[in-house]
Chains A and B, each alone.
Chain A
Amino acid sequence: MRRLAVGLVTIGLLLGLAAPAHAAGTQDYAPVVIVHQEHLAAGPYELTVGFSTWPVRAQQSLDFTFEPAGGIDRFTGTLVVVSPAGEEENLRRPPGVDGLPRHPRQPAAWGLDVFALDEPGDWTFTFGLDGPLGPATATLTVPVSEQPGPPLGLSWLISTVPLFVIAGVLAVAVARGGRQPVRTR
């Protein structure tokens, strides 16, 4: 048993030491690769919307970039995204904030990184730009098709097995515990 304990500790140490080293050597975050662009006219300005995946599918994460001609330094921008059901997305911003965030891995542009649109249907992106020639708005409709992979119902059925196991264990425990005498406190 002592050897077993030593073995377990050794494995743990190896994991603890080897994996960070491996992680440090192999981190490879995907660069922002735009495979599709939409060009919008927002009043006197031009705005290019880039997508790292096209066509967009529901719940599949991708990177969006939003680049006004002349660069984001000349503008302030806002974005309101509304789902096909008519609900506004908060885009990871605090409540009441609608400013455009910079794309973390492409900070010269605004954007959304690792972002997914939940539902299939037509999503509405409404941009507000305020620059040297005054404020202007533009709207883009982004069609989103059904989510990839197996039907969500099947995925959830597969994924909730441990939940049912927990429910079963707890149900047995509650039934058995109910047969115990009340403890005097």
Chain B
Amino acid sequence: MIDRPWVPAWILLLGSASTLVGLGWDLQWHSDVGPDTFYTLPHLFIYAGAAVSGLVSLAVVLAATGATRSGRVVDPAVGGRRVAVFGVFQAPVGYLVSGVGSALFLLYGLWDEWWHGLYGFDAVIASPPHVGLLTSVMLAMLGSVMTCAAAAGQRWAGPALVASVAILLGFSMVVLVAIPDTSDIDERTVTVALLSMAALACVASFTGGLRPVVAMAATLLLVQVALALFSPWATRLYAASEGLPLRDYTNGLPRMALLMPAALLLGVAGLALARRARSSVLGGVLGGAALAATFPWQALLLGGAVQPPQQPVITIAVGAFLGAVGGALGDRLGAALRLLGPARTREVV
């Protein structure tokens, strides 16, 4: 496994993809149907994804530890530099992060089970155990991004990195459901601007090119379309197979897909316009403003009710500011990801 870095990296990516599909389906289930048990198919996708991520991370750490002890060289393309853990294990940093995320997911799964004993079925997504579960998954997905970045220069690593960042960004949009909509600006929209521009600038900074950024935005759009088609359909089918009716007033709109920014390519355009100035901050301003201006309206594409922000100008201005912050942070994150892989000078993706 550690002789072929692509094997564990793609397995980890597969785990992340499974969890994303499961989350989209599960959100739809709780919106359209309601009651569930631990043993539902959406939960299976989520938990199997986390289990696969955890097992492959553990396998790589054990294999790297064994190889190091027997005096063999472990290719840093396998998850990046090794970190000594407890003085016993030699953990490639990417797999350490994904493994810790998966282990935390398991612990918060137990916490969630206990919580349901007290609080009953899930009535809200943003419960404390769910926040623990979802952020644990994000940590594991961050590890997946790191494992792909560590293998930069290998043919498989470019598409894998693009997919891993798209999955992480798409999944992270679930935080929007926990953000209260209490003030005149649209907090959810400006959060989209921040996270999106950070992810886009990170890929741009890491690869030094815009093509991978376009590929990442296009990948997330594909994921969004796929989830928009899949989640409501699978929910109806699964509810029928379980003999459960849909709730009245269910509109069938795809919950998870609606949280993802459909106009992410506008964020890429912002980076492209600022390219001559070589400023990810300026790119973040332009992209963040464009995303903040368009995100509240994307429900129109799916026939949903639009709730425009009360203060659209201020929302766009805050979106531009947070886009700039995201651009600056993403630039640095991309530079940090470059430290994981071998030194190189040319565009790698």
Contact = CB atoms under 8 A, between A and B. Distances in A.
Nearest to B132: A159
Given A104-B33, A162-B101, A185-B275, A5 B123 contact: no
Contact of A8 (B52, B205, B244): B52
Contact of B48 (A12, A28, A116): A12
Nearest to A107: B245
A107 B245 CA distance: 9
A107 B243 CA distance: 13
B247 A104 contact: yes
B98 to A, nearest CB: 11
Chain B interface secondary structure, helix, strand, loop or mixed? helix
A25 to B, nearest CB: 9
Given A115-B123, A177-B331, A185-B208, A8 B11 contact: yes
Nearest to A11: B55
A168 to B, nearest CB: 10
Interface string B82-108: 000000000000000100110010001
B333 interface: yes
Q: Which of B35, B97, B305 has the most CB of A within 10 A?
A: B35
B128 A27 contact: no
Contacts of B1: 1, 4-5
Nearest to A154: B128
A4 B3 CA distance: 13
Given A61-B119, A155-B128, A180 B305 contact: no
Contacts of A60: 118-120
B249 A29 contact: no
B240 interface: no
B209 A185 contact: yes
Contact of A177 (B7, B100, B121, B334): B334
B338 A185 contact: no
B218 interface: no
Interface string B107-120: 01001000100111
Interface residues of A, number: 65
A146 to B, nearest CB: 12
B41 A59 contact: no
Interface in A103-123: 104-105, 107, 113-116
A101 B269 CA distance: 45
A35 interface: no
A105 B121 CA distance: 14
Interface residues of B, number: 70
A7 to B, nearest CB: 9
Given A5-B7, A8-B56, A177-B335, A116 B305 contact: no
A1 B332 contact: no
Contacts of A156: 128, 131
B332 A116 contact: no
B37 interface: yes
Nearest to A26: B39
Interface in A4-36: 4-5, 8, 11-12, 15-16, 19-20, 22-23, 26-30
Contacts of B247: 92, 101, 104, 113
16 contacts: A8-B52, A53-B120, A95-B305, A104-B245, A105-B245, A114-B34, A116-B120, A160-B135, A165-B104, A166-B135, A166-B142, A174-B332, A176-B335, A177-B205, A177-B339, A178-B332
Interface of B: 1-3, 7, 11, 31, 33-35, 37, 39-41, 44, 48, 51-52, 55-56, 59, 63, 97, 100-101, 104, 108, 111, 115, 118-124, 127-129, 131-132, 135-136, 138-139, 142, 205, 208-209, 242, 244-249, 251, 275, 278, 305, 307, 329, 331-339
Task: Please list the 3 inter-chain residue pairs (A to B) with the smallest Cβ-Cβ separation, ordered nearest first.
Answer: A177-B332, A177-B335, A177-B336
Given A20-B44, A161-B132, A177-B335, 8 more contacts: A92-B249, A99-B249, A113-B34, A155-B129, A156-B131, A173-B336, A176-B335, A180-B332
